[in-house]
Amino acid sequence: MYDYLEIKELNDRYHFGTYRRLPVLLVEGKGSRVRDNEGNEYLDLLGGIAVNALGHCHPKVVDAIQQQASKLIHCSNLYHIGPQAHLARLLLENCDMDRIFFCNSGTEAVEGAMKLSRKWASSHGRGGKIITMEGSFHGRSLAALTATGQRKYHEGMDPLPTGFATVPFNDIDAVKAIAGDDTCAVMVEPVQGEGGIRIASREYLKDLRDLCNERGILLVFDEIQCGMGRTGHLFAYQGFDVVPDIITIAKAMGGGFPIGAFLAREEIASSFQGGDHGSTFGGSPLASAAGLAAVSSIIEEGLPKRAKDLGVWAIQRLQKELGGSRIIKDIRGMGLMIGVELKRDGKEVEDMMFKRRMLINCTAGHVLRFLPPLNISREDLNEGLDAFIKCLKEVDRHE
C-alpha cells in the first residue's frame, strides 16, 4: 500500500518540477470512478485527458493486456506482429485513409505526420512550411511545440525549428494569405482541446480542404484529443464531412496503454520508403493488443453515438442552468468534449470540484474542460453536472 506523504516527498525530491499535481494519490479505477490510497472515491470527468474513453480498467482491455503480456510483450518491427496488423485493418476499414504507422504517443504521431508531409513535398517540388492555428496544441517535442500555436510553450526553447507559421483559428483568409508553394501542409485540430474546446466551423474546414486542393497542399487533422469517438464519430473528421490527407490519433486508442498513429491516403503514404521512419516500440504486440481491444470496444459498444447524445444532453443542461451566470462567457462542446469558458480564471472551480471528489480540469486559463469516459452512465454524468452547477453558482454569488 502506498502512502500519500511518502510518495509526494519522493516526487518532490526526485522529479523535474514540470507537473503541478493535485494532492491525491490514485491507486485504482473502475469505469468512471477512481480511488485514492485511502479508499476515497472520485468521479472521473476528465478521463486521463481523453485517454480513458472506455473508463478505467475496461474488462476487454485488461483481458487483452493480460493475455498478450503472458505471450509476447515486445519483439521489434523487424518482424510481423499479429495484433498490430489487426489493429491497422480495424482502423483503416473505419475511415478514408489507406495506410497507418504506429508510434507511442500523440507527439510522435504529429512528428510523423509532419515528416511525411515534408517528404511528400520534397518529391513534389514544394517547400516544407507547415501552417498551424493559434490556440492549437500538438505536443512537446521541439517540432511539435513549434507547431503548437501558443507562445507560452515556446518561451525559453530557442532556437526553434524553422518552417512553421501560425495563423488565427477559424480564419480562412489568414491561411489564404500565407499558403504558397513554400507550404507543404496545413495542420488543424477539428476541435481544439488544450486551446479551450474551440470547435472548427464546418465551413472553415471545407474551405481549408478546397484551398489545399487548389494549391496542392496537404491537409492534416490532429485528432489526438478529439478522435476515437469522442465527438460523435470514430474519427472526428467524419462529423465535419471533410476528408483530410493525414490524420493523427493517440490517447484513447490504447484504452489507457500508450500508443499513437498517423494515417494517410495511399499517394501520400507512398512518399515514405524503407528506412524513412521507424520506431522501436511503436505498435508493439502489447500496445497493439490493448489498442485492438480498445478500438473494437469503442465501435462495438456504439460509443461515438452515445458520446454525441450524452454531449447534446449535458450541454443543454449546462446552458439551461448556467445560462444566466455572470461569470460564464460561453458553454460549448461537441460530443463528450465540453468546455465552459469563464470570464475569470477557472482554476478555483477545478479545485472546488476536486474538494467534492470530482475530476475536471481548467485549460487555457479560464475554460473548464470535461472529457469523461464515453461509456459514463447518465446518472454519473448528471451527478458531476450537479456538483459543477453548484460550484459555479457559489462562485457567481460571491462575484
Ligand X SMILES: Cc1ncc(COP(=O)(O)O)c(C=O)c1O
- Which chain residues interact with ligand X by CB under 6 A? 49, 105-107, 110, 137-139, 189, 193-194, 222, 224-225, 250
Determine contact, residues 372/45, Cβ cutoff 8 Å. Answer: yes
Q: How many CA atoms lie within 13 A of 10 on its CB side?
A: 7
CB closer to ligand X, 371 vs 376: 371
Task: State in angstroms the smallest separation of the CB of 248 from ligand X.
Answer: 7
Task: State in angstroms the smallest separation of the CB of 282 from ligand X.
Answer: 13
CB closer to ligand X, 283 vs 322: 283
- CA torsion sign, 339 to 342 to 21 to 222? positive
Residue type, 147: A
Determine contact, residues 94/234, Cβ cutoff 8 Å. Answer: yes
CB closer to ligand X, 185 vs 327: 185
Q: How many of the other CB atoms lie within 10 Å of CB of 211?
A: 16
Task: State in angstroms the smallest separation of the CB of 146 from ligand X.
Answer: 13
State the DSSP string of 254-293: GTTS--EEEEE-HHHHTT--TTSS--SSTT-HHHHHHHHH
Contacts of 74-81 spanning 24+ positions with Cβ under 8 A: 74/281, 74/284, 74/285, 74/286, 75/284, 75/285, 76/280, 77/278, 77/279, 77/280, 77/282, 77/283, 81/283, 81/284, 81/285, 81/288
State the DSSP string of 325-360: -TTEEEEEEETTEEEEEESS--HHHHHHHHHTTEE-
CB closer to ligand X, 31 vs 48: 48
Residue type, 197: I
CB closer to ligand X, 262 vs 392: 262
For residues 279 and 281, what is the distance between their CA atoms, to the nearest angstrom? 6
Cell reading at 137: 496544441
For residues 288 and 357, what is the distance between their CA atoms, to the nearest angstrom? 33
Residue 249 Cα to chain centre, angstroms: 7
Taking phi over 0 as left and psi of -120 to 50 as alpha, with beta for the rest, 76 belongs to: left
Task: State in angstroms the smallest separation of the CB of 250 from ligand X.
Answer: 5
Taking phi over 0 as left and psi of -120 to 50 as alpha, with beta for the rest, 219 belongs to: beta
CB closer to ligand X, 225 vs 238: 225
For residues 363 and 356, what is the distance between their CA atoms, to the nearest angstrom? 19
CB closer to ligand X, 110 vs 387: 110
Task: State in angstroms the smallest separation of the CB of 386 from ligand X.
Answer: 28
Query: Residue 129 has what DSSP assignment?
Result: E
Residue type, 325: S
Task: State in angstroms the smallest separation of the CB of 194 from ligand X.
Answer: 6
Task: State in angstroms the smallest separation of the CB of 131 from ligand X.
Answer: 16
Task: State in angstroms the smallest separation of the CB of 371 from ligand X.
Answer: 10
Q: Closest-CB residue for ligand X?
A: 106
